[in-house]
C-alpha cells in the first residue's frame, strides 16, 4: 500500500510504501529521494494516515526508521504527537557482495527448508523464538509462523525455501538465517539471523553472518545492506570484521495500535 501527496499538476511530491504485515509488524518504506519537494508537515500527514490504517489491525506495530542526516529527521519533533515512541538508535552498513568473505572452513552444516531440506516452515517458526532470545526487535507476542510467511511474501524480494536456512552444529539446530535479494537490482539483506543461546559465545557468529553472504551469491545478490542497534557491539564488530562500511545512522520509532 502507498501513501502519497501530489501537487496541482499530479506529480508526486511525497510518498512512501507501507510494507507488511510481517506477522503483526508494518514498516514505512520512505522515498527519500523525493524529500526535498514537500514540507515536513506534508510527510507528517502521510505518516498519520498510515497510523490510522495500522490501527485497524489488532496489536499491530508500525516501524519508522529515520535517517539522522536526512530531511526526514525533522519529523522527530512531530512523531511523539502522532503516537510514536523512540525505540533505539541504529547503525547501517553496506558492502559489495563480491568483497565479502566466503564461508570456507565453517563448522556449521546448513540446509534450506523443505522440500529442498528436511525442516518445514512450521519447524523453523517454532525455532525462531529460541534464536531471538535477547533481541530487542523480537516481540514475544508475535506469531513467528506469520512473521516468516510475511518475510517470504514480499513480492519485491526473493522468496521460497532457499531463503531460509537452518544451521546445525554437533548434530543440533544451532542457528537460522533468512536472506533475501531484490532481483531488479541485486540489493540484499539478511532479513533475520540468530544463534541458539547454547551456541553463543563460541565463535559461531562470524560463520552465521558469512553464510548469509553465500545465500546472497546463490540468489544473484550484488550489494549487501545490513544494520543493527547501536548498542549491539558484537554485531557491529562482525560488520567491521567482514569489511562492511558504515552507511548511515538511523533512529527507529514505533507506533503500537490500541495504545492511543
| Residue 95 domain flag | no
- 146 in the same domain as 19: no
- 109 in the same domain as 149: yes
Judging by beta carbons within 10 Å of its beta carbon (0-12, 13-18, 19+), is residue 77 exposed, middle or buried?
exposed
- 235 in the same domain as 168: yes
- 150 in the same domain as 197: yes
pLDDT tens profile 98-152: 999 999 999 999 999 999 999 999 999 999 999 999 887 777 778 899 889 989 9
Per the structure, the complete domain to which residue 79 belongs is given by 2-90+250-256
More confident residue, 258 or 251: 251
- 164 in the same domain as 145: yes
Structural contact between residues 242 and 95, judged by C-beta atoms closer than 8 angstroms: yes
- Number of domains making up the chain: 2
- 227 in the same domain as 125: yes
pLDDT tens profile 27-66: 999 876 655 568 889 999 999 999 999 998 888 999 999 9
In this structure, what are the phi and psi dihedrals at residue 257, rounded to the nearest 5 degrees? -65, 150
In CATH, what number is assigned to the domain containing residue 140?
3.40.630.30
| Residue 96 domain flag | no
pLDDT tens profile 64-86: 999 998 888 889 999 999 999 99
Q: Which H helix or E strand runs over 50?
A: helix 40-54
- What predicted TM-score, i.e. pTM, was given to this entire model? 0.87
- Percent of the chain beyond pLDDT 90? 73
| Residue 146 domain flag | yes
Judging by beta carbons within 10 Å of its beta carbon (0-12, 13-18, 19+), is residue 224 exposed, middle or buried?
buried
Amino acid at each position: 500500500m502507498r501513501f502519497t501527496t501530489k501537487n496541482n499538476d499530479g506529480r508526486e511530491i511525497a510518498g512512501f510504501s507501507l510494507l507488511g504485515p510481517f506477522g503483526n509488524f508494518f514498516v514505512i518504506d520512505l522515498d527519500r529521494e523525493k524529500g526535498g519537494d514537500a514540507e515536513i508537515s506534508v510527510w507528517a500527514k502521510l505518516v498519520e494516515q498510515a497510523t490510522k490504517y495500522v490501527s485497524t489491525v489488532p496489536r499491530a506495530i508500525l516501524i519508522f526508521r529515520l535517517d539522522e542526516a536526512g530531511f526526514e529527521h525533522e519529523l522527530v519533533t512531530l512523531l511523539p504527537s502522532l503516537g510514536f515512541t523512540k525505540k533505539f538508535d541504529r547503525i547501517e552498513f553496506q558492502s559489495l557482495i563480491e568483497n565479502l568473505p566466503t564461508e570456507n572452513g565453517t563448522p556449521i552444516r546448513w540446509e534450506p527448508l523443505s522440500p529442498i531440506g528436511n525442516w518445514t516452515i512450521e519447524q523453523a517458526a517454532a525455532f525462531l523464538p529460541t534464536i531471538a532470545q535477547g533481541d530487542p526487535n523480537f516481540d514475544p507476542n508475535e506469531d513467528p509462523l506469520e512473521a516468516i510467511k510475511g518475510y517470504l511474501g514480499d513480492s519485491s524480494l526473493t522468496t521460497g525455501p532457499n531463503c531460509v536456512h537452518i544451521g546445525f552444529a554437533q548434530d543440533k539446530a544451532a542457528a537460522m538465517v533468512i536472506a533475501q535479494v531484490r532481483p531488479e537490482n541485486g540489493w540484499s539483506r539478511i532479513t533475520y539471523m540468530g544463534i541458539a543461546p547454547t551456541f553463543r559465545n563460541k565463535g559461531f557468529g562470524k560463520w552465521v553472518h558469512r553464510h548469509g553472504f553465500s545465500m546472497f551469491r546463490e540468489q544473484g545478490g550484488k550489494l549487501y545492506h545490513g544494520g543493527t542497534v547501536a548498542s549491539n557491539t558484537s554485531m557491529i564488530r562482525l560488520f567491521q570484521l567482514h569489511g562492511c562500511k558504515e552507511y548511515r545512522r538511523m533512529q527507529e520509532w514505533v507506533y503500537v495500535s490500541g495504545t492511543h
